[in-house]
């Protein structure tokens, strides 16, 4: 393979890339969101500067991807933390667990999504929307919400989903030290909210050494939503360079 051919490849193996070179479109992306109050000291211990926390809140989410170009259907779960970057409000993605390797690899390498492999699920059971996350054979999270009890204003649903998202991108060099270490930002674009509901909700997190969601304990459920959308994820842009000690250009 010639040098110019190698330089056109985004990932290995060269003859069978780990993920497709494309911007995926998400059709029928279904969310279960549980916003809860947690311990402020535990929250401050995991949110990197220069992000700031106003309230000790966490959003646990389970997302069922009905159809994704290049990847097919899969499910994802994780935790997002409301933060402030200067005068801009958004969310810091703390942890994400997927059952699809190409989506995991592309999210980590191309962008900075904190993705690892897990076994999330989202389904309806006896009048409740149920979102779960397993690590191996062990349950680490169970979320429930009354199924379509109340319509949620679609503008409110759109506002929940389209806040700027901040992530930490760290790529080590061959000496074991960070070669890239940046805070990056992205947004959701081309969003269509097809349906949105709310209802009574509960969330349980279980201790696990390798999936430590319960390190941000549930003290009080604040709100919940069940939202069906079509959307596209925009690319990422760096906003802070930790190695240079300042804002990225």
Closest to 132 (Cα-Cα) out of 32, 26, 13: 32
User: CA quadruple 200, 134, 116, 130: dihedral positive or negative?
Assistant: negative
Question: Is residue 119 within 8 Å of 140, Cβ to Cβ?
Answer: no
Tell me which H or E stretch contains 232: strand 220-233
Question: Is residue 206 within 8 Å of 140, Cβ to Cβ?
Answer: yes
Question: Is residue 134 within 8 Å of 62, Cβ to Cβ?
Answer: no
How far is Cα 123 from Cα 146, in angstroms, rounded to an integer? 12
How far is Cα 224 from Cα 221, in angstroms, rounded to an integer? 8
Residue 193 tokens, joined = 């909210």
Active-site option among 64, 115, 194, 244: 115
User: Could you tell me how far CA 68 lies from the centroid of its own chain?
Assistant: 16
Closest to 30 (Cα-Cα) out of 226, 201, 234: 226
CA distances from 187 to 90, 184, 214, 227 (A): 10, 11, 27, 17
The yes-or-no answer on residue 115 being catalytic is yes
Closest to 117 (Cα-Cα) out of 132, 102, 100: 100
Name the residues annotated as catalytic: 115
């Amino acid at each position: 393979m010639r040098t110019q051919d190698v330089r056109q490849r985004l990932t290995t193996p060269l003859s069978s890339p780990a993920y497709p070179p494309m911007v995926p479109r998400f059709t029928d992306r279904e969310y279960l969101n549980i916003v809860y109050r947690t311990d402020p000291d535990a929250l401050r211990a995991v949110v990197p500067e220069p992000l700031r926390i106003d309230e000790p809140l966490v959003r646990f989410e389970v997302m069922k991807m009905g159809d994704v170009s290049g990847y097919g259907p899969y499910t994802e779960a994780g935790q997002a933390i409301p933060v402030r970057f200067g005068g801009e409000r958004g969310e810091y993605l703390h942890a994400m667990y997927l059952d699809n390797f190409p989506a995991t690899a592309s999210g980590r390498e191309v962008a900075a999504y904190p993705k690892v492999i897990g076994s999330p699920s989202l389904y309806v059971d006896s009048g409740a929307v149920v979102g779960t996350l397993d690590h191996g054979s062990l349950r680490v999270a169970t979320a429930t919400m009354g199924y379509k009890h109340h319509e949620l204003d679609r503008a409110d649903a759109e506002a929940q989903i389209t806040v700027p998202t901040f992530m930490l991108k760290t790529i080590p060099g061959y000496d074991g030290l960070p070669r890239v270490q940046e805070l990056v930002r992205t947004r959701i674009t081309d969003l269509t909210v097809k349906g949105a509901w709310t209802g009574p909700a509960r969330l349980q997190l279980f201790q696990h050494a390798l999936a430590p969601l319960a390190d941000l304990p549930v003290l009080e459920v604040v709100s919940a939503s069940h939202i069906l959308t079509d959307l596209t994820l925009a690319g990422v842009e760096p906003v802070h360079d930790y190695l240079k000690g300042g804002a990225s250009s």
